[in-house]
Amino acid sequence: MFDIPEGMVYLNGNSLGPMPKKAPEAINTFLMDEWRTELVKGWNTKNWFIKSNLLGDRIGSLMGAANGTTVVGDSLSIKVFQAVAAGLAMAPKRRVILSDNGNFPTDLYMVEGLINLRDDYRNSRKHDMKSIIAKAHSVGATVVWDMAHSIGALPIDVTDTNTDFAVGCTYKYLNGGPGSPAFIYVAPRLLNTVEPALSGWFAHEAPFAFDLNFRPTPSKIDRMRIGTQSMAAFTLLETALDIWDEVNLDDVRSKSIELSEFFISEVESKCHGLTLVSPSDPNQRGSHVAFQFENGYECMQALIAQGVIGDFRAPDIMRFGITPLFINLDDIEKSVTILSEILTNKIWKKPEFQKRSLVT
């Protein structure tokens, strides 16, 4: 169901998922049968205006969320801003924002910006959501979860864990395309009181009344919508989500563990000099595997040159996404064989692998 170049082993689905084979047909249908023929009528005739909600419910189903609690749109950074701002407004007397020490830097940048306004993405380590949330709630705190490396990788249940807020992107394991829109989830118990820090017109109780003052829509996830979104991007995401309609996440998780355990075993026996930094216990690990190597950047460039695509995170981490929808045991074996040859023959020392690109 995915269009991956022949001969390539793609171990980077944790950063950017591959293109669904039906994506070109879907985007062409949008161009020719929606935008071209409907023009502005499409907001009604093609449900563009509520597409944020329709796609939100489909993503929500992948994490145990009730319908009407998740919307899609904007970028992950914007959704982080929304969720954290809403959490701060719920506890105005609290003065501490606590972060996981392995948090993605962008999340921290957005929080820093919020602080100014108000006066484990590296190693794939999993968190016990239920116990963390219970502990936080016991002291009156609110928890925001960034699920960018979880959604589509392993089973999640935001209802069972009593999650307050969750955000995530759709271009990694969900395969929605480069820069595809993000999502935000708000617990049903908060929908009537959550304060939208970014009060866009799509979140207005009556957007086409064109009031001068903002009135958030009552008791709806629509409060977290902001403004006009890209229907072209929504079309590509919708096509990717069609694949997930045929997938059982428990099966995905089981296969991910099988493949990652094989990958780790093969690397540790054949690729000397690499140190596993992901948890060795698969039950404590997500769906990518990280190894530390002093010359990790150069080694990853050598791998990419031979058709094995992973990624690098400074200062010395090589990451490999284990994505069962399009990776099998043969791919793992092939990638380890090539990695071993690169290390044994020190191919990574070649001059062409020393130059740093903008994106690693």
Instruction: Give the mean model confidence (pLDDT) for residues 49-65.
Output: 97
Query: 193 or 110, which is more confident?
Result: 193
pLDDT at site 75: 93
What CATH number has the domain bearing residue 132? 3.40.640.10
Does 319 reside within a domain? yes
Q: How many residues does the chain have?
A: 360
Does 28 reside within a domain? no
**Does the pLDDT at position 94 exceed 90?**
no
Domain ends where: 206, 222, 244? Answer: 244
Q: Are strands 19-20 and 2-3 parallel, antiparallel or unpaired?
A: antiparallel
Instruction: Give the mean model confidence (pLDDT) for residues 235-253.
Output: 97
Our answer to whether residue 334 is catalytic in this structure is no
Q: In what order do the strands lie in the sheet with 144-146?
A: 70-72, 183-186, 165-168, 144-146
pLDDT at site 195: 86
Which tens digit of pLDDT belongs to each residue from 273-290? 999 999 999 999 999 999
How many Cβ atoms are within 10 Å of 208's Cβ, its own excluded? 8
Our answer to whether residue 10 is catalytic in this structure is no
Q: Give me the chain's average pLDDT, please.
A: 93
Question: 328 and 195, same structural domain?
Answer: no
Instruction: Give the mean model confidence (pLDDT) for residues 33-47.
Output: 96
pLDDT at site 111: 80
pLDDT at site 117: 61
Q: Are 290 and 317 in contact (CB under 8 A)?
A: yes
Query: 115 or 266, which is more confident?
Result: 266
Question: 294 and 155, same structural domain?
Answer: no
Does 24 reside within a domain? no
**Three-class SS state of 31:** helix
How far apart CA 160 and CA 128 sit, in angstroms, is 12
Catalytic entry in 2, 10, 81, 104: 104
Our answer to whether residue 297 is catalytic in this structure is no
Question: 112 and 216, same structural domain?
Answer: yes
Does 345 reside within a domain? yes
Does 40 reside within a domain? no
With pLDDT > 90 as the criterion, what percentage of the chain qualifies? 79
How far apart CA 64 and CA 57 sit, in angstroms, is 10
Question: 237 and 129, same structural domain?
Answer: yes
Question: 321 and 256, same structural domain?
Answer: yes
pLDDT at site 285: 95
Helices (H), 271-328: 296-305
Which tens digit of pLDDT belongs to each residue from 301-354? 999 999 999 999 999 999 999 999 999 999 999 999 999 999 999 999 999 999
Question: 230 and 89, same structural domain?
Answer: yes
Question: 80 and 222, same structural domain?
Answer: yes
**Does the pLDDT at position 118 exceed 60?**
no
How many Cβ atoms are within 10 Å of 315's Cβ, its own excluded? 9
Instruction: Give the mean model confidence (pLDDT) for residues 2-30.
Output: 97
Distance of CA 173 to the CA centre of its chain: 7
Question: 208 and 123, same structural domain?
Answer: yes
Catalytic entry in 165, 171, 263, 320: 171
**Three-class SS state of 241:** helix
Does 31 reside within a domain? no
Our answer to whether residue 349 is catalytic in this structure is no
How many domains does the chain fold into?
A: 2
Question: 285 and 179, same structural domain?
Answer: no
Does 38 reside within a domain? no
Q: Extract the tokens encoding 123.
A: 């190693």
Question: 219 and 76, same structural domain?
Answer: yes
Q: Extract the tokens encoding 265.
A: 């075993």
Determine the Cα angle at 201 with ends 199 and 207, to 5°.
135
How far apart CA 234 and CA 55 sit, in angstroms, is 8
Instruction: Give the mean model confidence (pLDDT) for residues 41-49.
Output: 96
How far apart CA 140 and CA 82 sit, in angstroms, is 20
pLDDT at site 51: 96
**Does the pLDDT at position 103 exceed 80?**
no
Query: Which whole-number Å values give the CA distances from 191 to 106, 298, 317, 328, in the listed order?
Result: 26, 48, 40, 42
Determine the Cα angle at 151 with ends 145 and 156, to 5°.
75
Q: Is 357 exposed, middle or buried (0-12, 13-18, 19+ CB in 10 A)?
A: exposed
Sign of CA dihedral 129, 131, 134, 140: negative
How many Cβ atoms are within 10 Å of 114's Cβ, its own excluded? 17
**Three-class SS state of 10:** strand
**Does the pLDDT at position 104 exceed 60?**
yes
How far apart CA 30 and CA 32 sit, in angstroms, is 6
Does 188 reside within a domain? yes
Backbone angles phi, psi at 79, to 5 degrees: -70, -35
Catalytic entry in 146, 164, 311, 331: 146
Our answer to whether residue 171 is catalytic in this structure is yes
What CATH number has the domain bearing residue 311? 3.90.1150.10
Distance of CA 46 to the CA centre of its chain: 27
Q: Which residue has the tokens 């903008």?
A: 358
Catalytic entry in 220, 223, 255, 319: 319
Domain ends where: 244, 272, 298? Answer: 244
**Domain carrying residue 65:** 47-244
Question: 77 and 6, same structural domain?
Answer: no
Helices (H), 39-189: 42-45, 51-60, 76-90, 105-117, 129-138
Question: 154 and 9, same structural domain?
Answer: no
Domain ends where: 244, 270, 296? Answer: 244
pLDDT at site 154: 95
pLDDT at site 99: 84
Instruction: Give the mean model confidence (pLDDT) for residues 192-217.
Output: 88
pLDDT at site 199: 84
pTM: 0.92
Secondary-structure percent of the chain, ordered helix, strand, coil, rounded to 5: 45, 10, 45
